[in-house]
């Protein structure tokens, strides 16, 4: 795995936040029996993890700005650098005691994503990448899948949650993709879905209605793993559009064609 000072700062911060999330996750099952449910508890766990990440990163890199799920945008004195942080990607999974969620931290330098760390504390899997240094899962270098045919592809997608909208479009896209692919999966964590494309567990992935903290780390990792990414309509900036389509070069292009046919 990459041992640069930057990646060390990022992984140390993530591991600090992970310790509290793992403890809190152990309490979720007991909270399921209460009438109110664990929603407030999970929100507190989310905020606590974000506070831990912010404090660790501020100490190591003072002046960097932040874009955070819970606390929003915090401008730094260093206008060239911003952290994009999701302290708990897969909150609904966490809420239900479903063991699939991650901490995601991406670094933007001069509007370019240059490093990413995604950590799954339940599986103890750390995905890391730094621009020009490759992508790694724990101590193993990873690459995107080499599959070239959609009928052999395992596809990841996101499904809009209650109140978000866009369900009709998703149903059309899902119908178009599912009749062409080997299978479709919806995991509930966009960060992990992108990381899974980077390491070849998924061949392609698409989702709409995302934020920068959902994608920033994953995009840095994916690109270092040889992957291609655009927004779901083929545009060059997934973060600006709030959507993503990604995979290896061939399947990414085919996915865009299928999604376009669904819109037509």
Annotated binding-site residues read 69, 86, 88-89, 214
3-state secondary structure (DSSP) of residue 89: strand
Contact 206, 182 (CB under 8 A): no
Q: Residue 70 contacts by C-beta under 8 Å, 6 or more apart in sequence?
A: 46, 47, 50, 87
Binding residues for Mg(2+): 69, 86, 88-89, 214
Q: From CA 186, how far away is CA 262, in angstroms rounded?
A: 19
Per the CB < 8 A criterion, the answer to whether 78 and 57 are in contact is: no
Check: CB of residue 107 under 8 Å from CB of residue 114. yes
What contacts 123, CB < 8 A, 6 or more positions away? none
Q: What angle do CA 52, 54, 56 make, to 5 degrees?
A: 70
Closest-CA residue to 249 (of 155, 144, 133, 173): 144
């Amino acid at each position: 795995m990459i041992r640069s000072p930057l990646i060390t700062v990022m992984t140390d911060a993530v591991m600090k936040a992970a310790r509290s999330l793992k403890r809190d996750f152990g309490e979720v099952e007991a909270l399921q029996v209460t009438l109110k449910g664990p929603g407030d508890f999970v929100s507190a766990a989310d905020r606590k993890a974000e506070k831990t990440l912010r404090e660790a990163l501020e100490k190591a890199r003072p002046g960097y700005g932040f874009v955070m799920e819970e606390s929003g945008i915090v401008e730094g004195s260093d206008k060239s650098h911003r952290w994009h942080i999701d302290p708990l990607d897969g909150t609904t999974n966490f809420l239900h005691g479903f063991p699939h969620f991650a901490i995601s931290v991406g670094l933007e330098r001069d509007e370019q994503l240059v490093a990413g760390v995604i950590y799954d504390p339940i599986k103890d899997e750390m995905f890391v990448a730094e621009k020009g240094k490759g992508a790694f899962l724990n101590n193993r270098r990873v690459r995107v899948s080499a599959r070239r045919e959609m009928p052999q592809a395992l596809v990841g997608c996101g499904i809009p949650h209650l109140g978000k909208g866009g369900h009709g479009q998703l149903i059309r896209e899902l119908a178009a993709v599912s009749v062409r692919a080997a299978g479709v999966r919806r995991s509930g964590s966009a960060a992990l879905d992108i990381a899974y494309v980077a390491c070849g567990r998924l061949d392609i992935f698409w989702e709409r209605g995302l934020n920068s903290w959902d994608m920033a780390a994953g995009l840095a990792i994916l690109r270092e793993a040889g992957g291609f990414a655009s927004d779901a309509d083929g545009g060059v900036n997934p973060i600006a559009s709030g959507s993503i389509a990604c995979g290896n070069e061939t399947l990414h292009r085919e996915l865009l064609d299928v999604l376009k046919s669904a819109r037509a």
